Amino acid sequence: MLQLEAAAGGIDLKYLDESGFCAWSEPGYTYYQIGEQKRLEQTKRRGRRLSIIRLLQPQISFVYGLVIGGVDRKAYIKMMEREAQEAAEIGRLRVIVQDNGPIHRCKEVQELWPHWENQGLYIFFLPKYCSEMNPIELEWQHIKKDELAGQMFDDELELAYAVIHGVEVRGQRGNYTTQRLKFNSN
């Protein structure tokens, strides 16, 4: 129903999800001599996880933010505040479809729901264990398997540049705009 309303132009429908990337990625499919094992030389330093939070409006836009470590409620709230403000400015209902992650349902976020709804932003939760209903999941798979497969990165900065490039490539292939939000580390 939401997809039909979005297709008719009645609402903005976006999908939200988080994912993580590591400096070491799995090698892709390749050929080796008989008796040799597939392997990649790994960096001495494993590094910290790079996380991404993203909003996808299919065939229109891809807004995302990167953080070292995990995405926390502050980054999530900042992204949702931006969406609520934009919905209020354009005077159009916006629905965000997301999973039931702890940061999506924490007390601090639940207290903001009425405020966001007053601005025209509504949250729709997917059923548990139904990640296949979120089209971002396929995008994560493509970024990891197509854009970053088999690469090793010396540090988090190099990994971040590779993820940014991967997101831009996916945007070009999907013919939608990409925009990176910057979160303060404070």
Written as one letter, the residue type at 83 is E
Banded model confidence at residue 120, pLDDT cuts 50, 70, 90: very high
Residue 36 domain flag: no
Predicted pLDDT at 116 = 98
- Give this prediction's pTM: 0.83
Q: Quick check: 76 pLDDT over 90?
A: yes
Query: Both tokens of residue 52?
Result: 């991404």
State how far the Cα of 107 lies from the Cα of 183, in Å rounded to an integer. 22
Q: Which runs of E-coded beta strand occur in the chain?
A: 12-21, 50-57, 61-68, 94-98, 121-125, 177-181
Mean pLDDT of 134-151: 88
Residue 103 included in any domain? yes
What is the average pLDDT score of the chain? 86
Q: Which residue has the tokens 């601090």?
A: 108
**Would 148 be classed as within a structural domain?**
yes
The pLDDT tens digits of the residues spanning 130-142 come to 888 999 998 889 9
The CATH number that applies at residue 94 is 3.30.420.10
Torsion sign (Cα): 17, 22, 23, 25 = negative
Residue 29 lies in a domain: no
pLDDT at 112 over 70: yes
Q: How confident is the model at residue 55 (pLDDT cuts 50, 70, 90)?
A: very high
Residue 135 lies in a domain: yes
Of 95 and 183, more confident: 95
Strand order in the sheet with 94-98: 121-125, 94-98, 12-21, 50-57, 61-68, 177-181
Residue 138: HSE in the Cβ half-sphere, 13 Å Cα cutoff: 8
Query: Does the pLDDT value for residue 103 go beyond 60?
Result: yes
Task: Give domain status of residue 186, yes or no.
Answer: no
Number of domains in the chain: 1
pLDDT category, 9, cuts 50, 70, 90?
A: confident
108 located within any domain? yes
Mean of pLDDT values over 15-20? 94
For residue 30, is it within any domain?
Answer: no
Q: Print the domain residue range for 123.
A: 2-24+43-180
